[in-house]
Structures are given as C-alpha cells and as structure tokens.
Structure 1
Amino acid sequence: MRLSEAFGIMSPTVVSVVGAGGKSSLLMSLSDQWDTERIPYVLTTTTRMAYAQVEHLAPVFQEEFQPGLLQVLSDLRRFGRAGWFLGFSEEKVKGLPPEWVDRLCDYRCSWHLLIEADGAGGRLLKAPAAHEPAVPSRSDLTVGVLHLGAIGSPIDTTVVHRPGLVRPIIGKENGEPIEPEDLARLALHPKGIFRGAAGKRTLVLNSGDAGGDKADLHRRWVEAIVHQIWKEGDGRTERVIWTKGYGRELRALRVYQPR
C-alpha cells in the first residue's frame, strides 16, 4: 500500500506530524514516495530536525519570509521539491514559525506541505508541554505518532520524553511498565499527543524494526489500542495506521477505520 494512500492523501495537503517514535521516518518515507512519483512538496519543521534528514533537499536557509518564499517557489519549479528552514547549528536545522507556515498556504496550489511540528528528544513516547506542539493552524491533517516498542518498558527518561507530563495522563509512576492502554490514553487525552491539533486526525502506531515473533504480539497490541480509541474517543481520530520501519523504510502494514 502506498503510504499516501494509507493516510488518504489524494490532493495537495498540509500535513503536521507530532508525537514520538517515528515522525522523521514518516516524513522521509512519504517525501521519498513523492520524489519517485514526481509529486511536488515542501518539507519544513516548526521545531528542529537533524540536518542529515533534510540534506538531500539542498535546503533553503532564510530568516526573512519573502526571500525564503521566492527561493522555495524557484526550487519547486526546478526540482519539484523544496526544504525551508531558518538556520543550521549543531547538526540541527531550525524550523519556521507556525505563522510562516500558515502564510505559505496562500501560495500552495499544487504541492504538499510536510511539517515536523513536535520534538521528542529521540524518545519513544511523549506528552507535549504547554507550548507544544507547534502545529500550524491551517494544517489539513495532524498525524500523531506513538511507538509500540515502548510497551513493556518502565516509565523513565530512557524511553519517555518528559515523564512528568506523561505520568498524570496515564495514571502511573516512574518505573511502572508501559502498557497498550497507556498509548491509547496518550492519543485520547486533551493534553496528549494531539494537543493543539488542527484539521483531521490520524494516529500512527509504529513497530519500528520489530519483526519475527514480535509481529503477532504487536498486531494484538494495535488491535487493543484501536478498540480503545473507537470505544472511548470522541470521534475526532479518523483512522489508525499500523506502520513498521525506520528512516526511509517506514511502510504501512494496516489501516483501521471505525465501522
């Protein structure tokens, strides 16, 4: 299944990705698909990304909106893709203000806009702080990512970004094991990963590089989480996608939608 098809992306779309455990992989894999299919897109972030993840775009670094816009539009005409960031330091690119991304939408007629709108410090789970995530208001789709690899691990800083924000949501203390229902709570809670979301909502449950005898276990976890989302949710999550892979190899295994 094509990744864009799994997300139901059929026309130029503004996609903001939040959460932890596969955001950059999702963006890279989706943009690689569009490169292959010659579908134009712009990639940026409202936080920070590793330079290595966007280097192939020959990104624009511009701290003023109008010159940056002109360079992006020129790259789109020449290459069918573009990346725009404010600057670069310590192997990270600095993202655009969310309001700049919203302004970009005024010039979007035939290309997708991909935004990494959240940071997680390389951890597998998170809950956003009060100032997060930085989702542009004109996003058509907010994708929330949770990593199945966190299940069974204790709540601590090796797995969870800011455990102090996660514990009140899932009702557990440091050191207690993370369970599938905890991921569902992070997706459902008003202060969970979809805090500040705009547009439609899609939840991604990522298996990472887990394989072999873990595949059936992950499937059961996914189905338990999906059941809880449909049972306890308010109907705002329109689909759940089970994915596998890292980097440019992330792919959709199955799409779940409420009956």
Structure 2
Amino acid sequence: MISLRQAFMLENGGVVSIVGAGGKTTLMYRLARELAEAGESVLTTTTTKILKPEKDQAAHFIFARSVEEIVKRAEELPANHPHLCASLEQIDPNGKTKGFPPEWIDELMQTHVFKWILVEADGAARKPLKAPADYEPVIAQTTKWVVGVMGLDALQKPFGSEWVFRSELFQALTGLSMGEPITPEVVVTAIIHQKGLFKDCPLSTKRILFLNKADLAGALDQGRRIIACLQKEANENPIRVVIGQVQQAVPVLEYVDL
C-alpha cells in the first residue's frame, strides 16, 4: 500500500500547507495520524479558520496565545502519540476556531519541537471545488510542500454554488457558465491558472495535486482524464498528481509526476 507520506514525497520534516477543497481537513488529520504513528512529532493547525477537532482527529488540542505556549504543550506530549492540534481562539458557538498568523508557523519550525507542521491554509465551506479569494491562501514562508486538494465528486455536475465555493471567482477563472457540466478540462484550467489552485505558491515548494474521493462511481476515470488534460499543458512548475480516497483504508490509488 502506498502511504500518503510516500505519495506526497514527504522527507526529513517541514511545513506542509494544504489548500483547495474537497477534503482538506480530513486529509490533514489522516496524514497527521500516519506521521505520528511513525513516532514523528506533528502539529496540525490553520492560518485561517477551522472547526475544533473531534477526539478521533486529534486527541490533544489546545488554544494557545503564544508560540511559547505551543512549545510548552508540545514538550508534554506522550511519546506514543506525538500529535498536537492548536488554534488561537474559538470564534463562534459552533466550534469554529481562528488559527495562527503565518509568522508563527515559521517561528515554530525554527524551534524544532515539531518535525512536521501541517497547515490548512484556506477555507472551502465543505464544497468539493473552489477558487481562492484575493487574500487566500495564507502560506507560511517556511512551507516546503503545498498540497492542492480537489473533490472528484464535483466532476460532471452542473456548475453552481452547490459544488463550487466562490463560484463567481471560479467562473472568472474558467469561463464556465452556470449550469454547464464541470469537466476535466475546466478543472485543469482552475489548477494551472495563476489565480487558481496553487495561487501564490512559493516557487521553492513541491506541488502536489490530490484528487480526492476516487472511491465514488466513475471518479477514478475522471481523475485520469484530469491527468491526461494536464499532460497536454505546458506547465513550467513540476507537479505530482495523486488520485486517492482519504476516508478509505487505502488512501492512495495511483500517482504520476508531470
């Protein structure tokens, strides 16, 4: 079985920023569990907003008002479960929390108390696709990997706000009209556009496209069609495309480097 770590080329520790839509949060906690089970210390957090985790997502969760507080709690983690989830504060009664400024991520990486910091770097309102706003994503300078997530469940669905977060921005990127089918070609436009999935991604980072929910009927074929479309594009930035199903026992089905 191919692990997420292998598929994402994660070696020697660092900051992983996760952007896009269609399973970012689930992916972050699944990857954190994989790394922690290997005995490697992990912080999961956000530079935007995120719901307070369930116990099965993160057994150790704190609100912290300083980098020093995070470091102190990290040093108290049990050796057999070195995963800490942290946010700055709760901002509504439904459990939504505010994350940390990206500078905190950079500072935390310098402390070496965590081998890995996994950061959800934008929001998607639980939709499978999105287009980033002007102020997104919020990526820390120390980021080594950017994982862009898309949900294959949106493919061939009629374009609209039911399937796409910030649909008006997505329309501006792709030229798709409301009600038209969301095709692999449309999705590729949203991936490679300079204001698309990897917007403001530092050139020094490794880019991974994670096409999620491949367990759904017809989704694997749609994922392969996206890869075929990407192969026709002159993309100056190397990208690894991973087709997977993060909620299933086997999270990675296949991958290719483009």
* TM-score normalised per structure 1: 0.89
Which residue pairs with 1:116 in the alignment?
Answer: 120
Cα root mean square deviation, aligned: 2.1
Which residue pairs with 2:257 in the alignment?
Answer: 257
| 1:121-140 correspondence to structure 2 within 5 Å | 121-140=125-144
Residues in 2 aligned to 1:40 and 1:130: alpha-carbon distance in whole angstroms: 33
Structure 1 residues 156, 59: closer, same or farther in 2, change over 3 A?
A: same
Which residue pairs with 2:7 in the alignment?
Answer: 6
Structure 1 residues 152, 108: closer, same or farther in 2, change over 3 A?
A: same
| Residue 71 (str. 1) matches residue 73 (str. 2) | yes
Identity %: 29
Bigger Cα displacement from structure 2, 134-143 vs 30-39: 30-39
Bigger Cα displacement from structure 2, 162-171 vs 87-96: 87-96
Residues in 2 aligned to 1:99 and 1:182: alpha-carbon distance in whole angstroms: 35
Structure with the higher helix share, 1 or 2: 1
In structure 2, the gaps of 5 or more residues are none
Which residue pairs with 2:220 in the alignment?
Answer: 219
Amino acid in structure 2 at the alignment position of 1:21: G
Residue 74 of structure 2 contacts residue 113 of structure 2 at CA under 8 Å; is this kept in 1?
Answer: no
Which residue pairs with 1:21 in the alignment?
Answer: 22
Which residue pairs with 2:211 in the alignment?
Answer: 205
Which residue pairs with 2:147 in the alignment?
Answer: 143
| 1:163-242 correspondence to structure 2 within 5 Å | 163-198=167-202, 199-207=205-213, 209-210=215-216, 214=217, 217-242=218-243
* TM-score normalised per structure 2: 0.89
Q: CA deviation at 1:81?
A: 2.1
Bigger Cα displacement from structure 2, 230-239 vs 177-186: 230-239
Q: CA deviation at 1:231?
A: 2.5
| Residue 80 (str. 1) matches residue 82 (str. 2) | yes
Which residue pairs with 1:91 in the alignment?
Answer: 95
Residue 41 of structure 1 contacts residue 76 of structure 1 at CA under 8 Å; is this kept in 2?
Answer: no
Q: Deviations over 1:86-124 (max 9, x none)?
A: 012421222111111111111127611111111100111
Residue 244 of structure 2 contacts residue 251 of structure 2 at CA under 8 Å; is this kept in 1?
Answer: yes
Instruction: Give the 3-state SS of the residue equivalent to 2:27 in structure 1.
Output: helix
Residues in 2 aligned to 1:143 and 1:41: alpha-carbon distance in whole angstroms: 17
Amino acid in structure 2 at the alignment position of 1:33: E
| 1:20-39 correspondence to structure 2 within 5 Å | 20-39=21-40
Q: How many residues align?
A: 252
Amino acid in structure 2 at the alignment position of 1:37: A
Q: CA deviation at 1:56?
A: 2.8
Residues in 2 aligned to 1:193 and 1:237: alpha-carbon distance in whole angstroms: 14
Residue 67 of structure 2 contacts residue 107 of structure 2 at CA under 8 Å; is this kept in 1?
Answer: no
Amino acid in structure 1 at the alignment position of 2:36: D
Structure 1 residues 16, 152: closer, same or farther in 2, change over 3 A?
A: same
Q: CA deviation at 1:15?
A: 0.4
In structure 1, the gaps of 5 or more residues are none
Amino acid in structure 1 at the alignment position of 2:251: R
Amino acid in structure 2 at the alignment position of 1:200: K
Q: Deviations over 1:164-200 (max 9, x none)?
A: 0000211111111111111111110001011121311
Residue 131 of structure 2 contacts residue 197 of structure 2 at CA under 8 Å; is this kept in 1?
Answer: yes
